[in-house]
Structure 1
Amino acid sequence: MSKPKVLITRRWPASVEAKLQERYELTLNLDDHPFSLAEFQAALQNYDAVCPTVCDSLPAEVLNVANKRCKILGNFGVGYNHIDINAAKQQGLIVTNTPGVLTESTADIAMTLLLMSARRGAEGDRLVRAGGWTGWCPTHMMSSDVTGATLGLIGFGRIAQAVARKAHHGFGMKILYVKPSPAEQAIVDDLQAVRCDSIEAMLPHCDYVSLHCPGGNETRHLINAERLSLMKPSAHLINTARGDVVDSSALIKVLQEKGIAGAGLDVYEGEPNIHPGFLNLENVSLLPHLGSATIATRTAMGEKVLANLEAYFAGGELPDRVV
């Protein structure tokens, strides 16, 4: 019996690619280029399973292509707002994701950006590399304390809770959070976390605000000019969630005007095309979407996709089925 045909749209860790190669008739994207809409349409017509990433775009015009062979999209990533889920449902396409395995690595990047922004780490690195450092001075590059400061979390799922643990137990930070319903009492007790009634109620009390909500139409520009204006002038905004949660133009404006002290970003609207306004700002730290970029985490993500594919082709229950 012939093996199912599987396409992965970007290169994965070699160990996972090898396992896929053993089990399936696998096609790799050897030069690792981003797929065009036409390439995705052709993939859906020619493969039993297509495995996209969180930076691929699969709108309705792609998913509605005629003569579709594909029955499952094994998404490499937790977020799936890049896939038109309603169109996938209408087309009978199964969509899976990779929850649970990237919690700690993404939380680590959130804390990295928080520290970089607080202590002006990226700015200092640029200064030294440019040969502009003239020596230690008591008033040079003064920055903000992290220990004992107040951290506000918008969203309080697995990643946000991991950030809260690192911040509270590691740095003695006070934890505020916004979530539609209260978190489990044991978690609240461990973190001494306080739930706020709304984003607006929380922002004025925070020294740092970290975003941990999904992307999509419901959260697009959740952080806008009005909400940024509620933050302290000394506060910092951290985003490791999805780029479209933040209105880039509004954030650039408030950073230019020193309405807040700084920002740390790992995700962007329209990435990898970053708003050029960010590039000349000293008070923003920019990373290239590194949240899950550890060897162990990316391998575990690939193994999650593999498990979902194996369950599908065996006719079993898919562990991470979204649609």
Structure 2
Amino acid sequence: MTSVAHSERPRVLVARAVFPDIIDLLREVAEVEATPDDAISTPETLRRRLADKQGAFITGSERIDAALLDACPLLRVVSTMTVGVDHIDLAACAARGIIVTHAPDVLTETTADFGFALLLAAARRVGEAERYLRAGQWTKWSVDLFAGADIHGATLGIVGMGRIGQAIARRAALGFDMRVLYHNRNRLSEAIEADCGGAQHRALPALLAESDHVLLALPYSPQAYHLIGAGELALMKPGATLVNIARGGVVDEAALAQALHNGRLGAAGLDVFEGEPAVNPVLLAAPRLVLTPHIASSSLPTRRAMARLAVDNLLAVLQGRPPLTPV
């Protein structure tokens, strides 16, 4: 790669500490202001540090809104290493001619692996059992010790049948002989349904009523806020499992905790939370609930691929080429 003269280089903010060797690729064409202390702590700090920048490398923790953009008149491109873009005001960016890119595809399989792992851990009560053993409470074997629900041969309902949902469906049908139902705004083609183990489209109420396990993998939007609330949880089979790897706001957390306390649900697994990184205390007190800190895509190869794609998108735009994966 040919270096650009110092005086001609655009300025880029990297808003979170991330793989230094990948960020070094940006330094060939840009003046990079990195974040050595892991993350930018406040919106005001982000606004101040972006004010004289042409490019931004962000993650899902940094919010790009109209107020920030008004303070950053030079900004040309925002590149997030996430696939979701609910933390970016796309309309405000478009109105100002700012290109937004994201990182689809590279995290699909890893996230699907984790979604299935969380389903298994919740339904088979893995978290409870480990804590019980570590606390020294295991003194004898019993027939019903942490007896959970079967995954193989059961019915899985997937809400959100995009790339990740389809990857989960293939694992379910081909690996665990599960019957797969899905809910999407639009029905998939017959060819995709067949590739997903004969997945069948359902309206959301029907999917909830028929499924032994429900997994949420839909993109977040205002319409998805508390899509799963008390009414929807009441439609689910007694003893069913709910897993959320989408966004925290999709689930009414208080209603979920209540459904676990009263035994309506058999188990649940959450990798995302409405106020993350803060976690609603009602969840911490709920039984039969596996909680993980938003790590569905967190394998080292995948996180490196996400960061590299974000950098490649920045390099493309700053060098006058089309971005690889625009939103």
Work out the CA distance in 1 between the residues paired with 2:174 and 2:20.
36
Shift of 1:184: 2.6
TM-score of the pair, normalised by structure 1: 0.95
Work out the CA distance in 2 between the residues paired with 1:125 and 1:56.
35
The aligned residue for residue 108 of structure 1 is 113
1:222 partner amino acid: L
Work out the CA distance in 1 between the residues paired with 2:272 and 2:252.
12
- Output aligned runs, 1:301-312, within 5 Å: 301-312=306-317
Shift of 1:279: 0.8
Work out the CA distance in 1 between the residues paired with 2:200 and 2:311.
39
Shift of 1:139: 2.0
Secondary structure at the residue paired with 1:218?
A: helix
1:64 partner amino acid: D
Q: Any conservation in 1 of the 2:245–2:296 contact (CA below 8 Å)?
A: yes
Work out the CA distance in 1 between the residues paired with 2:40 and 2:278.
13
31, 34, 38: which is aligned to 1:25?
31
Work out the CA distance in 2 between the residues paired with 1:288 and 1:34.
19
Work out the CA distance in 1 between the residues paired with 2:21 and 2:238.
47
The aligned residue for residue 244 of structure 1 is 249
Work out the CA distance in 1 between the residues paired with 2:142 and 2:211.
29
Deviating beyond 6 angstroms after TM superposition, the runs of 4 or more aligned structure 1 residues are none
Bigger CA drift: 107-116 or 251-260?
A: 251-260
Matched, 1:254 2:226: no
Work out the CA distance in 1 between the residues paired with 2:49 and 2:101.
17
29, 32, 57: which is aligned to 1:51?
57
Structure 1, gaps ≥5 residues long: none
Shift of 1:55: 2.0
Secondary structure at the residue paired with 2:224?
A: coil
Structure 2, gaps ≥5 residues long: none
Work out the CA distance in 1 between the residues paired with 2:115 and 2:165.
9
Matched, 1:74 2:79: yes
Q: Any conservation in 1 of the 2:217–2:246 contact (CA below 8 Å)?
A: yes
Shift of 1:246: 0.9
How much is the aligned-residue C-alpha RMSD, in angstroms?
1.4
Shift of 1:22: 3.6
Work out the CA distance in 2 between the residues paired with 1:12 and 1:211.
28
Q: Any conservation in 2 of the 1:6–1:25 contact (CA below 8 Å)?
A: yes
- Percent identity among equivalent residues? 38
2:231 partner amino acid: E
133, 150, 158: which is aligned to 1:153?
158
Work out the CA distance in 2 between the residues paired with 1:269 and 1:59.
19
TM-score of the pair, normalised by structure 2: 0.94
Shift of 1:163: 0.4
Deviations 1:51-107 (A, max 9, x none): 111122223222222x52221111110111011222222232211100110001110
Bigger CA drift: 35-44 or 223-232?
A: 35-44
Q: Any conservation in 1 of the 2:271–2:294 contact (CA below 8 Å)?
A: yes
Bigger CA drift: 183-192 or 73-82?
A: 183-192
Aligned residues: 320
The aligned residue for residue 225 of structure 1 is 230
Q: Any conservation in 2 of the 1:64–1:87 contact (CA below 8 Å)?
A: no
Shift of 1:180: 2.3
1:58 partner amino acid: I
Matched, 1:36 2:46: no
